[in-house]
Protein backbone atom coordinates (compact mmCIF):
# COMPACT_ATOMS: atom_id res chain seq x y z
CA UNK A 1 0.00 0.00 0.00
CA UNK A 2 1.39 3.36 -1.02
CA UNK A 3 -0.10 6.50 0.50
CA UNK A 4 0.62 9.59 -1.56
CA UNK A 5 0.46 13.10 -0.15
CA UNK A 6 0.78 15.73 -2.84
CA UNK A 7 2.15 19.08 -1.72
CA UNK A 8 0.47 21.64 -3.97
CA UNK A 9 3.44 23.98 -4.03
CA UNK A 10 5.48 24.75 -7.12
CA UNK A 11 9.03 25.68 -6.18
CA UNK A 12 11.04 27.84 -8.57
CA UNK A 13 14.39 26.22 -9.31
CA UNK A 14 16.35 29.23 -8.07
CA UNK A 15 14.83 28.81 -4.61
CA UNK A 16 16.46 25.50 -3.88
CA UNK A 17 18.92 24.70 -6.63
CA UNK A 18 22.50 24.62 -5.41
CA UNK A 19 24.48 23.48 -8.42
CA UNK A 20 28.10 22.62 -7.81
CA UNK A 21 30.08 22.45 -11.01
CA UNK A 22 33.26 20.52 -10.33
CA UNK A 23 36.39 21.51 -12.21
CA UNK A 24 38.41 18.52 -13.36
CA UNK A 25 41.90 19.69 -14.31
CA UNK A 26 43.36 18.21 -17.47
CA UNK A 27 47.08 18.75 -17.84
CA UNK A 28 47.16 17.60 -21.48
CA UNK A 29 48.31 20.56 -23.57
CA UNK A 30 48.25 22.77 -20.53
CA UNK A 31 44.46 23.18 -20.76
CA UNK A 32 41.67 22.52 -18.28
CA UNK A 33 38.68 20.26 -18.93
CA UNK A 34 35.50 21.22 -17.09
CA UNK A 35 33.26 18.35 -16.12
CA UNK A 36 30.15 18.34 -13.96
CA UNK A 37 30.59 15.77 -11.21
CA UNK A 38 29.43 15.04 -7.67
CA UNK A 39 32.97 14.13 -6.64
CA UNK A 40 34.22 17.62 -5.85
CA UNK A 41 33.16 21.16 -5.05
CA UNK A 42 34.19 24.01 -7.34
CA UNK A 43 37.17 24.74 -5.09
CA UNK A 44 38.46 21.19 -5.54
CA UNK A 45 37.51 19.94 -2.08
CA UNK A 46 35.70 16.61 -1.75
CA UNK A 47 31.94 17.00 -1.85
CA UNK A 48 30.14 15.53 1.13
CA UNK A 49 26.48 14.58 1.48
CA UNK A 50 25.22 15.01 5.03
CA UNK A 51 22.44 12.62 6.05
CA UNK A 52 21.26 14.03 9.37
CA UNK A 53 18.87 11.12 9.96
CA UNK A 54 21.79 8.69 10.03
CA UNK A 55 24.24 11.24 11.45
CA UNK A 56 26.63 10.51 8.62
CA UNK A 57 28.79 12.45 6.23
CA UNK A 58 29.17 10.59 2.95
CA UNK A 59 31.25 11.03 -0.19
CA UNK A 60 30.68 9.53 -3.61
CA UNK A 61 33.44 6.99 -2.93
CA UNK A 62 31.91 5.84 0.37
CA UNK A 63 28.50 5.44 -1.27
CA UNK A 64 29.71 3.01 -3.93
CA UNK A 65 29.38 0.08 -1.51
CA UNK A 66 25.66 0.52 -0.72
CA UNK A 67 25.07 1.51 -4.35
CA UNK A 68 26.71 -1.69 -5.61
CA UNK A 69 24.43 -3.88 -3.48
CA UNK A 70 21.40 -1.93 -4.63
CA UNK A 71 22.47 -1.99 -8.27
CA UNK A 72 23.06 -5.76 -8.31
CA UNK A 73 19.59 -6.38 -6.87
CA UNK A 74 17.87 -4.20 -9.47
CA UNK A 75 19.86 -5.60 -12.36
CA UNK A 76 18.81 -9.11 -11.33
CA UNK A 77 15.20 -7.95 -11.17
CA UNK A 78 15.64 -6.36 -14.60
CA UNK A 79 16.86 -9.66 -15.95
CA UNK A 80 14.23 -11.92 -14.37
CA UNK A 81 11.14 -9.88 -13.38
CA UNK A 82 11.51 -6.47 -14.95
CA UNK A 83 7.85 -5.58 -15.42
CA UNK A 84 6.85 -6.64 -11.91
CA UNK A 85 9.79 -4.72 -10.42
CA UNK A 86 8.31 -1.48 -11.77
CA UNK A 87 4.63 -2.12 -11.11
CA UNK A 88 3.86 -4.91 -8.65
CA UNK A 89 0.49 -5.62 -10.29
CA UNK A 90 2.37 -6.94 -13.35
CA UNK A 91 3.13 -10.67 -13.71
CA UNK A 92 6.34 -11.94 -12.08
CA UNK A 93 7.63 -13.30 -15.36
CA UNK A 94 10.52 -12.40 -17.64
CA UNK A 95 8.15 -11.07 -20.27
CA UNK A 96 4.48 -10.10 -20.40
CA UNK A 97 1.85 -10.04 -23.13
CA UNK A 98 1.42 -7.21 -25.63
CA UNK A 99 -1.90 -6.33 -23.99
CA UNK A 100 -0.30 -6.10 -20.55
CA UNK A 101 2.48 -3.92 -21.96
CA UNK A 102 -0.08 -1.57 -23.50
CA UNK A 103 -1.76 -1.15 -20.10
CA UNK A 104 1.63 -0.70 -18.45
CA UNK A 105 2.64 2.19 -20.70
CA UNK A 106 -0.81 3.77 -20.72
CA UNK A 107 -0.61 4.12 -16.93
CA UNK A 108 2.47 6.26 -17.51
CA UNK A 109 0.56 8.57 -19.84
CA UNK A 110 -2.07 9.22 -17.17
CA UNK A 111 0.57 10.07 -14.58
CA UNK A 112 2.53 12.45 -16.82
CA UNK A 113 -0.61 14.34 -17.80
CA UNK A 114 -1.32 14.83 -14.09
CA UNK A 115 2.20 16.18 -13.58
CA UNK A 116 1.85 18.66 -16.44
CA UNK A 117 -1.53 19.87 -15.16
CA UNK A 118 -0.20 20.36 -11.65
CA UNK A 119 2.89 22.24 -12.85
CA UNK A 120 0.70 24.29 -15.22
CA UNK A 121 2.76 23.26 -18.23
CA UNK A 122 1.14 23.13 -21.66
CA UNK A 123 1.22 19.80 -23.47
CA UNK A 124 0.55 21.16 -26.98
CA UNK A 125 2.06 24.65 -27.20
CA UNK A 126 3.88 27.17 -25.09
CA UNK A 127 6.77 29.60 -24.86
CA UNK A 128 9.40 26.97 -24.07
CA UNK A 129 12.03 28.04 -26.58
CA UNK A 130 13.15 25.02 -28.56
CA UNK A 131 11.12 22.70 -26.33
CA UNK A 132 11.25 21.27 -22.83
CA UNK A 133 13.92 18.88 -21.63
CA UNK A 134 12.95 16.23 -19.07
CA UNK A 135 15.00 13.93 -16.84
CA UNK A 136 13.18 10.89 -15.47
CA UNK A 137 15.34 9.43 -12.71
CA UNK A 138 14.83 5.73 -12.05
CA UNK A 139 13.03 5.41 -15.38
CA UNK A 140 13.13 1.61 -15.38
CA UNK A 141 11.37 0.37 -18.52
CA UNK A 142 10.50 3.87 -19.74
CA UNK A 143 6.89 3.81 -18.53
CA UNK A 144 6.98 7.53 -17.71
CA UNK A 145 9.88 8.62 -19.92
CA UNK A 146 7.98 7.51 -23.03
CA UNK A 147 4.90 9.43 -21.91
CA UNK A 148 6.99 12.59 -21.48
CA UNK A 149 8.52 12.06 -24.93
CA UNK A 150 5.08 11.91 -26.56
CA UNK A 151 4.10 15.37 -25.30
CA UNK A 152 4.33 17.94 -28.08
CA UNK A 153 6.14 20.59 -26.04
CA UNK A 154 8.90 18.19 -24.95
CA UNK A 155 12.00 18.04 -27.15
CA UNK A 156 14.27 15.60 -25.32
CA UNK A 157 14.02 13.11 -22.46
CA UNK A 158 16.74 11.48 -20.39
CA UNK A 159 15.68 8.01 -19.21
CA UNK A 160 18.15 7.45 -16.34
CA UNK A 161 18.49 4.23 -14.36
CA UNK A 162 21.11 2.14 -12.57
CA UNK A 163 19.94 -1.13 -14.14
CA UNK A 164 21.34 -1.80 -17.59
CA UNK A 165 18.89 -4.68 -17.94
CA UNK A 166 15.88 -2.39 -17.46
CA UNK A 167 17.39 0.14 -19.86
CA UNK A 168 18.01 -2.53 -22.51
CA UNK A 169 14.33 -3.51 -22.46
CA UNK A 170 13.27 0.14 -22.45
CA UNK A 171 15.42 0.90 -25.50
CA UNK A 172 13.88 -1.97 -27.45
CA UNK A 173 10.35 -1.01 -26.42
CA UNK A 174 10.93 2.61 -27.50
CA UNK A 175 11.88 1.46 -30.99
CA UNK A 176 8.44 -0.16 -31.24
CA UNK A 177 6.46 2.60 -29.53
CA UNK A 178 8.05 5.83 -30.74
CA UNK A 179 5.58 8.01 -32.59
CA UNK A 180 6.19 10.44 -35.41
CA UNK A 181 7.12 13.73 -33.77
CA UNK A 182 8.09 12.16 -30.44
CA UNK A 183 10.98 13.70 -28.53
CA UNK A 184 14.42 12.15 -28.56
CA UNK A 185 15.02 9.75 -25.66
CA UNK A 186 18.50 9.14 -24.27
CA UNK A 187 18.93 5.96 -22.22
CA UNK A 188 21.56 6.65 -19.54
CA UNK A 189 23.03 4.23 -17.02
CA UNK A 190 24.13 5.95 -13.83
CA UNK A 191 25.99 5.17 -10.65
CA UNK A 192 26.23 7.35 -7.54
CA UNK A 193 27.67 10.23 -9.59
CA UNK A 194 24.51 11.30 -11.42
CA UNK A 195 26.03 14.61 -12.53
CA UNK A 196 28.79 12.85 -14.40
CA UNK A 197 26.35 10.37 -15.95
CA UNK A 198 24.27 13.12 -17.59
CA UNK A 199 27.39 14.89 -18.85
CA UNK A 200 26.69 18.28 -17.33
CA UNK A 201 23.22 18.64 -18.87
CA UNK A 202 20.49 20.64 -17.13
CA UNK A 203 16.78 19.87 -17.51
CA UNK A 204 13.61 21.96 -17.43
CA UNK A 205 11.70 19.20 -15.64
CA UNK A 206 13.33 16.76 -13.20
CA UNK A 207 11.03 13.89 -12.28
CA UNK A 208 11.29 10.80 -10.08
CA UNK A 209 8.56 8.63 -8.53
CA UNK A 210 8.54 5.20 -6.81
CA UNK A 211 12.34 5.22 -6.90
CA UNK A 212 13.98 6.81 -3.84
CA UNK A 213 11.78 4.78 -1.49
CA UNK A 214 13.83 1.68 -2.38
CA UNK A 215 17.14 3.22 -1.30
CA UNK A 216 18.98 3.65 1.98
CA UNK A 217 18.84 7.20 3.29
CA UNK A 218 22.45 8.03 2.38
CA UNK A 219 21.77 7.31 -1.30
CA UNK A 220 18.48 9.23 -1.09
CA UNK A 221 20.36 12.28 0.18
CA UNK A 222 23.06 12.13 -2.49
CA UNK A 223 20.61 11.67 -5.35
CA UNK A 224 18.18 14.32 -4.13
CA UNK A 225 20.93 16.92 -3.98
CA UNK A 226 22.08 16.01 -7.48
CA UNK A 227 18.53 16.09 -8.85
CA UNK A 228 18.43 19.68 -7.65
CA UNK A 229 21.82 20.29 -9.28
CA UNK A 230 20.69 19.19 -12.74
CA UNK A 231 17.53 21.29 -12.64
CA UNK A 232 17.74 24.23 -15.05
CA UNK A 233 17.07 27.76 -13.74
CA UNK A 234 13.32 28.33 -13.94
CA UNK A 235 12.65 24.61 -14.15
CA UNK A 236 10.39 22.34 -12.12
CA UNK A 237 11.04 19.29 -9.96
CA UNK A 238 8.52 16.54 -9.21
CA UNK A 239 10.14 14.11 -6.80
CA UNK A 240 8.53 11.50 -4.57
CA UNK A 241 10.19 10.98 -1.19
CA UNK A 242 9.57 8.37 1.50
CA UNK A 243 9.10 10.06 4.87
CA UNK A 244 7.75 7.33 7.14
CA UNK A 245 7.39 3.57 7.34
CA UNK A 246 3.95 2.61 8.63
CA UNK A 247 3.92 -0.17 11.20
CA UNK A 248 6.52 -2.91 10.99
CA UNK A 249 6.24 -3.52 7.27
CA UNK A 250 8.77 -1.86 4.91
CA UNK A 251 6.12 -2.09 2.17
CA UNK A 252 3.88 0.39 3.99
CA UNK A 253 5.59 3.65 3.16
CA UNK A 254 4.17 7.12 3.68
CA UNK A 255 5.48 9.33 0.91
CA UNK A 256 5.55 12.96 -0.07
CA UNK A 257 5.54 14.29 -3.59
CA UNK A 258 7.38 17.61 -3.69
CA UNK A 259 6.68 19.80 -6.68
Taking 50 as the threshold, does the pLDDT of residue 1 lie above it? no
At residue 9, the pLDDT reads 26
Greater confidence (64 vs 43) lies with 64
How sure is the predictor about 249, in pLDDT bands with cuts at 50, 70 and 90? Answer: low
Q: Is the pLDDT of residue 206 over 90?
A: yes
Percentage of the chain with pLDDT > 90? 43
When pLDDT is averaged across residues 186-203 and rounded to a whole number, the result is: 92
Average pLDDT over residues 113-117: 92
Task: Examine the pLDDT at 15 and tell me if it is beyond 50.
Answer: no
250/95: higher pLDDT: 95
Of the pLDDT bands very low, low, confident and very high (cuts 50, 70, 90), residue 25 is very low
Average pLDDT over residues 30-55: 65
Residue 23 pLDDT > 80: no
Phi and psi, residue 33, nearest 5°: -95, 130
pTM for the model = 0.79
Higher pLDDT: 75 or 53? It is 75
| pLDDT digits 0-9 by tens, 59-71 | 888 888 888 888 8
Amino acid sequence: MLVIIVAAVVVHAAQYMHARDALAADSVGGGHAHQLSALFHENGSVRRFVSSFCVSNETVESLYYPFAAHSVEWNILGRDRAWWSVLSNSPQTKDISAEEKAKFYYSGTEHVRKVFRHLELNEESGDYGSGLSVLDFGCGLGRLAFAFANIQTVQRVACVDQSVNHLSIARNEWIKRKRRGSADVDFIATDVDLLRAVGGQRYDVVHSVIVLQHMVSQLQTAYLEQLCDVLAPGGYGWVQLPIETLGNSPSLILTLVIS
